[in-house]
Amino acid sequence: MPTTDFLRRRNGLWRQLRGLPPGPAFETTLSALAALTGWDRARILAGLGYPTEESHER
């Protein structure tokens, strides 16, 4: 079971990502969320509703 601190940090990072435009701050926050959760970039972007890099290759 995740701790309260973990959940607060994770939720705060998701909140920040939703409010940031693409750029350095977005990338830094995305990296922090990936490090915290163990999720890769594609999974986080999918969670935000962004198209995956794979969809651009088609």
Residuewise pLDDT in 10s, the chain (58 residues): 889 999 999 999 999 999 999 999 999 999 999 999 999 999 999 999 988 665 444 3
* pLDDT of res. 53: 60
The secondary structure of residue 22, as a DSSP letter, is S
pLDDT at position 13 is: 98
In whole angstroms, what is the distance from residue 33 CA to residue 36 CA? 5
Do you know the residue count of the chain?
Answer: 58
- Residue 2 has what pLDDT? 85
Tell me what pLDDT residue 1 has: 85
Among left, alpha and beta (phi > 0; psi -120 to 50; other), residue 19 is alpha
